[in-house]
Amino acid sequence: MEKFVVRGGRRLSGEVDVHGAKNSALPLLAATILCGSQSVLHNCPSLSDVDAACMILDYLGCGISREENSVVVDTSNLEHFEVPDTLMREMRSSIVFLGAIIARLGRCRLCFPGGCELGPRPIDLHLSALRQMGIDIREEHGYLDCSVSARGIQGTKIVLSFPSVGATENIMLAAVLAKGDTVIVNAAREPEIIDLAQYLNKCGARILGAGGGTIVIHGVRNLHGCEHTVIPDRIVTVTYLCMAAITGGEIIVNRCIPSHFDAVTPVLEQMGCRMNVYPDSIYLNASRRLRGVKTIRTLPYPGFPTDAQALIMAVSTVAEGTSVFVENIFESRYKHIGELARMGADIKVEGKVAIVDGVEKLYGADVEATDLRGGASLLIAGLGAEGITRVTNIGHIDRGYDGLEKTLREIGADIQREKEGLNGSCSS
Catalytic residues: 116
Judge whether 3 and 392 are in contact, CB under 8 Å.
Answer: yes
Judge whether 71 and 54 are in contact, CB under 8 Å.
Answer: yes
Amino acid at residue number 415 = I
Q: How far apart are CA 381 and CA 383, in angstroms?
A: 5
Q: How far apart are CA 291 and CA 269, in angstroms?
A: 10
Q: How far apart are CA 166 and CA 330, in angstroms?
A: 14
Judge whether 393 and 368 are in contact, CB under 8 Å.
Answer: yes
* Strands 181-185 and 214-218, bridge-based pairing: antiparallel
Query: Strand pairing partners for 281?
Result: 254, 278
Q: How far apart are CA 130 and CA 371, in angstroms?
A: 29
Q: What are the start-end ranges of the E strands in 127-213?
A: 135-140, 143-148, 157-159, 181-185, 206-208
Judge whether 228 and 199 are in contact, CB under 8 Å.
Answer: yes
Judge whether 130 and 174 are in contact, CB under 8 Å.
Answer: yes
Nearest alpha carbon to residue 19 among 240, 213, 227, 278: 240
